[in-house]
Structure formats: structure tokens, C-alpha cells
Amino acid sequence: MHVSTVVPRIEYLKVQNFRALRHIELKGITPLTVLLGPNGSGKSTLFDVFNFLSECFQSGLRPAWDRRGRGKELKTRGSDGPVVIELKYRERPKTPLITYHLSIDEGPKGPVVAEEWLAWKRGTHGKPFRFLSYKHGLGSVISGEQPDEQDHRQDVPLRGPDLIAVNTLGQIAQHPRVAALRDFITDWYVSYLSVDSTRAQPEAGPQERLSKTGDNLPNVIQYLKENHPQQLDRIMQLLRERVPRLERIDASPMPDGRLLLQVKDAPFQQPVLSKFASDGTLKMLAYLTVLHDPAPPQFIDIEEPENFLHPRLLPELAEECRQAADRTQLLVTTHSPFFLNSCRAEEVRILYRDEQGFTQAHTASDIHGIPQFLAAGASLGHLWMEGQFGMSDPLRNQGAPWSLTGTVAAKRGKRGD
């Protein structure tokens, strides 16, 4: 049983000029958020926004920018403006809502941070104020645990315009609010799990967290075995419930210093090497090690978990994700109605491309008729497969979504979407 943990929660995301995301907003983001839509609707692009931001903090802006083809490939086609990512989050429940704005453009020598700021409102009245504000490497910050508008603002130039101020200043103890955001984003886990990678035989040595590709799965099993045996027993119990005849999985050091992952099935006496094990077994094991991490990442992205897994296992995995959301925040992309059946309408974001080819997003609970169908006992997965979402059906015109309920429809009319 999971114990709820106080973790930062993202409540809002705005993205502009990031490939097909010309302008998209997600409001009221839930602890578990599921992205649904046809191929090419923008799910992977939105998923990559989090990966991009994570890479900017972990390895620097320039490598993350260059890896995606620089401004020529990363910016929305036909747009000259900067790439904008804006988050609203709370460090803990009932604490002030903090807004983080990051604007990146192409300079003559590479990417530059055109604008970056952090803002919050400490009291119940007044407007939010920026306690960190930078443009092209120049700006100021208010230090302290509770930066206030009346506090002293200090000019702290950065060494270059391609440096992210939060990432740089967050390493200094006198800026705890900035440091908290830096630690939060640096801790994100974005999964690009490859089953083939989980069959690797890495050098022996415990590692606390699964890599993006899963190539250190044996090391994580070794770490859990040595430091958290009860947690590993729990993971193995769940795995045995979902994989018939499975007895155990073990990571054993080899004479040459590598770590060997072996799978033991009943009634056979000898285990088999992981390279001969089931794809689904290894993938489920990898997901369970992430979701049952003793100290889980504060934000987890999982792309299309249904690949290689039996459909009957997906509702169970969805429940694992919901339980894990007590200790972290999850973003999942899926094409599976079986996974969707365990989701709530307010957790599901429907993505589609409009007539101009740009991604739009709406919450499933805002689609006309969906709340009534669910109240009558229908499930989201079946409604989706029956075409009740309209906009997420690949055989329909993606630029002609079905009607939305009241307020949302009115807002869309005003914007001319």
C-alpha cells in the first residue's frame, strides 16, 4: 500500500512554437494525466516537451536544442517567434502557485534564453510578482525562503545567454525557491523504454533509478535486492500475479564483472537468460521498478505502455499508475482502450490536429455527452472505440471535433478555434 507523499504538482502547461504545438494549453492537470489521440496528433511532441525541458536542466540547453535539429526543425513551421514553455505548479498543497516561463530562440551562435522568469503571489491579494527575471543572460533575482516584492533585488549576470538562470542560480543555497524548481525538473523521469535494452548485460554495481531506455534494469534489481528487499519482494509478487508460472527474477554478477539478469519459471530447475525471456515480462518488470521506486522521481512520463503487454494486464497497470500518483505525478500516452477503461474523464486529454495542421487539446470530461455516458455505466475505452470522442478517431476529419460542453464550447467560439 502506498503512502501519500508531498511532491510538487504541475497544474498548468502552455507551449508555443514547439513543432506542431503552435499554441496549446493544458489547464487543471491531474496527478495522473493521459494523452489520447490518433497517430500524428501531437502526443509524442507534447511528451517531448517534458523531455526537452528535462534535458535542458540535466545536460544544458545547447545539447537539447541541437539534438532536435535546432530552431529550423524545432520551431513551428511558418513561425518566427521563440519556443515558449510555461508551467504553473505548487511545491506543496495550499502553497502559492508559482509560474515558470522559459522562452528560447535561435541566436547567431546557437540557442539563447530570450526570456525567463519565476513569479508568485504570497498573499491572497494583489498580483503575482516576478522574483526572478532574465533576458539573454542578464537579469536579477530576489533571494530568501519567501521572496517578497519589497525585498532587495540583486543583479546576477550569467556567463552566457544560452544558460538557464533557474538551472544556474538553483545551485546556490541563498535561492531556495529557485533551487526547489531546479531540483524538481532535474528529477523528472522520461521513459523511452526499449525491451531490447533491458536485455543488456551491464557492468555490475547497484543503481537507484532506471535509465530512460531501461538498459540498467539488472543494476536496479541489484540495488533493490541489497537495499530494499521488501520493495523488491513486492515487485516480484505483483509480477508473479501477472505472468503465469513465473517464480523469480534475479541479477547475478558474472566472473567478468558484468551483471546477468535471469528469469526462473516453474516447474523448471534452471533459469533462462533475460535475452530469452518474454518481452512483456521484462517490460512489466521495468514499469514496476519505476512505479514502486522507494524514492520515485517527482514526475514520470511513460509513452504507450501497452506495447508488448497483454490487454488484460493494462487495467492493472493503469491502477499501478494511479497508486503511484500519490507519490509522484504521471503523464502517460496511450492507444489502448483497455488502459483507458481505468481512467477518469478529467484525467484524459484528447489531442487532434486542426485544419491548419496544429495540435489542439481538450479534456474528455468537456466533450458533450461523455459525462452522461459515464454516469450511465459506460467506460472511457469503449466510448472511444465507438467514436464518441470524435476528434480522436483517425478515420474522422481531425479538424472537426465533436461539440464540447457549455463553457468550453463558448471559449472555443471566441478564439475561433
Provide the H-helix boundaries in 113-272: 165-169, 176-186, 195-198, 217-227, 229-242
Residue 79 in grid coordinates: 513561425
Q: Which long-range CB contacts under 8 A does 271-279 form with residues at least 24 apart? A: 274/198, 274/199, 274/218, 275/199, 277/199, 278/243, 279/195, 279/308
In angstroms, how far is CA 386 from the centroid of its own chain? Answer: 28
292 φ, ψ to 5°? Answer: -110, 25
Cβ 222 vs Cβ 259: under 8 Å: yes
Residue 400 in grid coordinates: 472537426
Q: Report the distance separating Cα 70 and Cα 389, nearest Å.
A: 35
Closest CA to 194 of 286, 332, 259: 286
* Residue showing cell 537539447: 64
Task: Return the amino acid letter for 268.
Answer: F
- Residue 132 is predicted with a pLDDT of 97
Q: For the chain, list residues with pLDDT below 50.
A: 1-3, 398-401, 406-417
- Residue 409 is predicted with a pLDDT of 43
Sign of the alpha-carbon dihedral angle for 182, 183, 184, 187: positive
* Residue showing cell 474522422: 396
Q: Report the distance separating Cα 392 and Cα 149, nearest Å.
A: 45
Strands of the sheet with 246-253, listed across from one edge: 246-253, 259-265, 272-273
Q: Report the distance separating Cα 416 and Cα 407, nearest Å.
A: 14
- Residue 371 is predicted with a pLDDT of 94
Cβ 383 vs Cβ 365: under 8 Å: no
Residue 304 in grid coordinates: 504507450
In the 8-state DSSP scheme, what is residue 44? H
What spatial distance separates the first Cα and last Cα of the chain, rounded to whole Å?
44
- For the stretch 25-48, pLDDT in tens is 999 999 999 999 988 899 999 999
- Residue 412 is predicted with a pLDDT of 44
Q: Which helix (H) or strand (E) holds 133?
A: strand 129-135
- Residue 127 is predicted with a pLDDT of 86
